[in-house]
């Protein structure tokens, strides 16, 4: 058996739900991170020409949320059980950071509907891949067992 065939056998495909969740998290993580960087740069320019704003913490939380989302999307690609567990934990932290940052940003006296929309959008963005990853736990474990047998 050639080396290429052995590499193909050890490189098992991720389960379908996990693949969908991983790509979702990578795309959302990149978008949130870039958006937070742009907002932080705009805030920096605003501070240069006018009075400073209090929303710097919000953008830092958004940046951490985006970075954690990106990390939780990359971890299942490692294909081991600890990476899967860590991915779920990091995704929960990302959800808390991002939704907290957005909520702080949207806290207006009469902005209840805006806050509600932000909470719902954040839950859809983060809960959908979290549910997909958790539901596919059994298939992910099966893939890992199959990989161990072949090695």
pLDDT in tens, 54-89: 566 777 777 888 888 888 888 888 888 888 888 888
- Greater confidence (3 vs 129) lies with 129
Token representation of residue 138: 């059994």
pLDDT at 7: 47
pLDDT tens, position by position, 5-50: 554 555 667 788 888 888 998 998 898 889 888 888 887 777 777 6
| Angle in degrees, 0-180, between the axes of helices 16-49 and 81-105, rounded to the nearest 10 | 40
Closest by alpha carbon to 79, among 131, 23, 145?
145
pLDDT at 27: 92
Contact 4, 116 (CB under 8 A): no
- Greater confidence (90 vs 51) lies with 90
CA dihedral 16, 75, 64, 134 (to 10 degrees): 50
Contact 52, 40 (CB under 8 A): no
CA 124 to chain centre: 12
The phi, psi pair for 51, rounded to 5°, reads: -70, 150
Contact 6, 147 (CB under 8 A): no
Helical segments of the chain, H only = 3-10, 16-49, 56-74, 81-105, 112-135, 137-150
Could you give the CA distance from residue 54 to residue 144 in angstroms, rounded to a whole number?
Answer: 47
Confidence (pTM): 0.74
pLDDT tens, position by position, 82-140: 888 888 888 888 888 777 767 776 666 656 666 677 777 777 888 888 888 888 888 88
| Angle in degrees, 0-180, between the axes of helices 81-105 and 112-135, rounded to the nearest 10 | 180
Q: Is 79 left (phi over 0), alpha (psi -120 to 50) or beta?
A: left
């Amino acid at each position: 058996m050639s080396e290429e065939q052995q590499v193909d056998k050890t490189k098992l495909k991720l389960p379908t739900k996990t693949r969908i969740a991983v790509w979702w998290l990578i795309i959302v993580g990149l978008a949130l991170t870039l958006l937070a960087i742009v907002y932080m740069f705009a805030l920096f320019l605003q501070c240069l020409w006018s009075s400073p704003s209090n929303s710097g913490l919000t953008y830092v939380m958004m940046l951490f949320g985006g970075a954690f989302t990106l990390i939780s999307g990359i971890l299942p690609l490692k294909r081991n059980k600890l990476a899967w567990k860590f991915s779920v934990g990091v995704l929960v932290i990302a959800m808390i950071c991002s939704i907290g940052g957005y909520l702080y940003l949207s806290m207006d006296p009469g902005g209840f509907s805006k806050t509600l929309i932000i909470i719902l959008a954040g839950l859809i963005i983060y809960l959908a891949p979290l549910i997909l990853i958790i539901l596919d736990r059994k298939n992910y474990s099966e893939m890992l067992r199959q990989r161990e047998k072949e090695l």
